[in-house]
Amino acid sequence: MVGRIAGFPDNAVITEVGPRDGLQSEPAFVPTAQKIQLIQSLLDAGLRRFEITSFVSPRAVPQMQDAVEVIAAFRDRSDAHLTALVPNMRGAEAAIEAGVDAMVLFASASESHNLKNVNRTRSESFQGFAQIAKRAEGTGVALQGAIATAFGCPFEGEVALKAVVDQAKAYRDLGMDYITLGDTTGMATPMLVIQRVQALAEAVPTVDIALHFHNTRGVGLACAYAGLSQGITHYESSIGGLGGCPFVPRATGNVATEDLAYLFAESGVQTGTDLGRLIEAAQLAERIIGRELPGQIMKAGPRLQTASMDSVRTANG
């Protein structure tokens, strides 16, 4: 079937966050060579934007201790856009030195989650961001902003739209032209997505808004659909759905990149990715971490992969 769902954009860009957001909470260190192999397989599948690592304390997040080496492996790929999460000036210095294309600064839209996550008030976080922005001037390294708990807070419940809009304006005032709404704990719903992106289109019209959903409550792809219905073209996801939800042991975390790419392709939205190769990358990710990942399309295969009539037992409808 050809065509595109009415109102959807003709292209969308997927940023792969598996190497950072997906792997950071893995208890066993993934060897650097395996991280590089995974990222290479994602490049081979057509992805070009990566949140590739973070420059955090190796004591706090030992999984990311090889940030410099991972970036070094890909910094000469001029067609790849590499970002790293940066919590403070020390991390910023290291990220600039390592050669990232952009640094991702992050704060939560809710005060208590920010305190829990980075042990700072939101105001203190933004004081730090201003210093980092100053440091980045003239380096050629761009800044991006992430708004955690943008759709709800596990401690406070609902998050006011105004808190999200104000934070986006503050990021824009620091010179950012790419801001991510993070569904940190799977509280996004399609209606909240529509409400927030409409408000941001008005408040920060020059900024690219990216949507980062978790499938914790099953509606991750429905939220992406809502984003597409509003013309949003930037999404973030994790191969295979790597990365759990720290709040709910049995629940899933990030939306799986290959599932998102499948939804987009089947809706007529081009992403430049190859579904078969994305599935291979998801299978590689499963082998690397040694357990089943929540991605669905990697288990079922593409739509038109037909079966033999002898291979199947059916049971009436």
Name which position in 52, 192, 207, 210 contacts a copy of itself (CB under 8 A). 192
Q: Any catalytic annotation for residue 223?
A: no
CA atoms within 13 Å, Cβ hemisphere of 160? 5
Could you say which of 14, 67, 226, 289 contacts a copy of itself (CB under 8 A)? 226
Site for a copy of itself in 166-185 (CB under 8 A): 182, 184
**Position 299 contacts a copy of itself (CB under 8 A):** yes
Pairing verdict, β 102-108 and 142-148: parallel
State the minimum distance, in angstroms, from the CB of residue 226 to a copy of itself.
7
Q: Which of residues 1-20 bind a copy of itself (CB under 8 A)?
A: 1, 3-5
Does 155 participate in binding a copy of itself (rule CB under 8 A)?
A: yes
117 near a copy of itself, judged by CB under 8 A:
yes
Is 85 or 95 the residue whose CB approaches a copy of itself more closely?
85
Does residue 21 touch a copy of itself according to CB under 8 A?
Answer: yes
Q: Provide the minimum distance between the beta carbon of 138 and a copy of itself in the complex, in angstroms, as a whole number.
A: 27
Contacts of 86 by beta carbon, 8 Å cutoff, 6+ apart:
54, 55, 92, 95, 103, 104, 105, 132
Q: Does 67 bind a copy of itself (CB under 8 A)?
A: no
Among 85, 100, 103, 109, binds a copy of itself (CB under 8 A): 85
Determine which residue in the list 75, 99, 195, 280 makes contact with a copy of itself, applying CB under 8 A. 195
Interface with a copy of itself includes 60 (CB under 8 A)?
A: yes
Return the number of the residue (99 or 190) whose C-beta is nearest a copy of itself.
190
Which of 78/306 has CB closer to a copy of itself?
Answer: 306
Distances (CA, A) of 243 to 139, 176, 189, 210, 311: 32, 27, 20, 19, 34
**Which positions from 235 through 264 interact with a copy of itself, judged by CB under 8 A?**
245-248, 250-252, 256, 259, 262-263
User: Nearest CA to 203 among 163, 150, 165, 151?
Assistant: 165
Burial bucket for residue 126 (CB in 10 Å: 0-12, 13-18, 19+):
middle
Q: Residue count at the site for a copy of itself (CB under 8 A)?
A: 83
- CB-facing half-sphere around the CA of 213: CA atoms within 13 A: 28
Looking at the chain, how many residues does it have? 317
Q: C-alpha angle with apex 57: 83 to 287, nearest 5 degrees?
A: 65
Coil, helix or strand at residue 72 = helix
Q: Which of 118, 132, 204, 245 is catalytic?
A: 245
Binding mask 89-108 for a copy of itself (x = CB under 8 A): -----------------x--
Question: Please, which residue, 43 or 254, has the CB nearer to a copy of itself?
Answer: 254
* Spatial contact of 40 and 259, defined as CB atoms under 8 Å apart: no
Helix (H, G, I), strand (E, B) or coil at 121: coil
Distance CA 310, CA 301 (A): 19
Q: C-alpha angle 98/86/161, rounded to 5°? A: 145
The answer to the question of residue 307 lying near a copy of itself (CB under 8 A) is: yes
Which of 61, 30, 90, 80 is closest to 242 using CA atoms?
A: 30
Q: Which stretch binds a copy of itself (CB under 8 A): 37-45, 120-128, 232-240, 308-316?
A: 308-316
**Hey, which residues are catalytic here?**
245
